[in-house]
Amino acid sequence: MNSAIILSNINEHVQLTADERAYLESVLISRPFRHDELIVKSGDVARYIMFVNAGYIMSYYTDQEGDDHVVQFAAQGWWSGDLFSLSPDPRTIYSTKGLSDGELLLLPRSAQEQLFEKYPKFERYFRISFQTSLIRQQLRFIESYSLTAEERYLKFQLKFPTIDQYIAQKHIASYLGITPEFLSKIRKRLLLK
């Protein structure tokens, strides 16, 4: 298993010893996925959190009316946002799908608890990760109110300059909280400028 990316990611926040590194590697599970594969279905018991080691994935939420809402795109080097696997009821409310071929590294829930017990450094790493995710999530929430759909689309393009070739427009629309038709209009409007 190639764990270079996850290790360098963790190393940005805490310095791991050889022991800690070895232990982490011993509990990670490689999980390759294919383009368009449904990796996790909502309602599943998700006994792990996911690190994207290669490729692209997206997570989405299906509401009562059966409409999907894209919550997150994740590229190489990202954790997937589904944290329900860590709370008492591990049934996830998100589905996760591959947007390309790729590989996940799964960190099982049980292993994670042991990781925290054994090496508090990992607790620190995840504390920091959750904290920055929370800040980002709050900013995104604010933006969804204070920016127009067009501004949000422009921001999206800046944030994911390369990913969009992997993502269908309807999924981008869903991520932005608008209909595909309206995204179409925005794109046309932007071309004319």
Partner DNA sequence: GGCACAAGATGAACCAGGTTATGAAATGAA
Partner DNA sequence: TTCATTTCATAACCTGGTTCATCTTGTGCC
Q: Which of residues 146-165 bind its own copies (CB under 8 A)?
A: 146
d(CA 56, CA 100): 6
Single residue of 44, 103, 123, 150 touching its own copies by CB under 8 A = 123
Instruction: Choose the binding region for DNA from 16-24, 70-78, 93-101, 178-186 (rule: CB under 7 A).
Output: 178-186
Quickly list DSSP for 91-121.
Answer: B-SEEEEESSSEEEEEEEHHHHHHHHHH-HH
- Closer residue to its own copies in complex, CB, 33/60: 60
- Closer residue to DNA in complex, CB, 49/178: 178
- Closer residue to DNA in complex, CB, 87/165: 165
Question: Residue 74 binds which one of DNA, its own copies, none, with CB within 5 to 8 A depending on kind?
Answer: none
In angstroms, what is the minimal distance from the CB of 65 to its own copies? 8
d(CA 161, CA 34): 22
Q: By the 8 A CB rule, do 59 and 95 touch?
A: yes
Site string for its own copies, 85-114 (x = CB under 8 A): -xx---------------------------
Q: By the 8 A CB rule, do 102 and 96 touch?
A: no
Q: By the 8 A CB rule, do 55 and 76 touch?
A: yes
Q: Tell me the helices (H) and strands (E) count for the chain, helix number first.
A: 7, 7
Is residue 177 classed as helix, strand or coil in its secondary structure?
Answer: coil
Phi (first) and psi of residue 151, to 5 degrees: -65, -40
Q: Which residues 6+ apart lie within 8 Å of 4 measured at CB?
A: none
> Does position 155 bind DNA by CB under 7 A?
no
Single residue of 25, 110, 181, 190 touching DNA by CB under 7 A = 181
Residues near its own copies, by CB under 8 A? 61, 63-65, 67, 69, 71, 81, 83-84, 86-87, 116, 120, 123-124, 126-127, 130-135, 137-138, 140-142, 144-146, 177
Residues at the contact surface with DNA, assessed by CB under 7 A: 148-150, 168-170, 177-185, 187-188
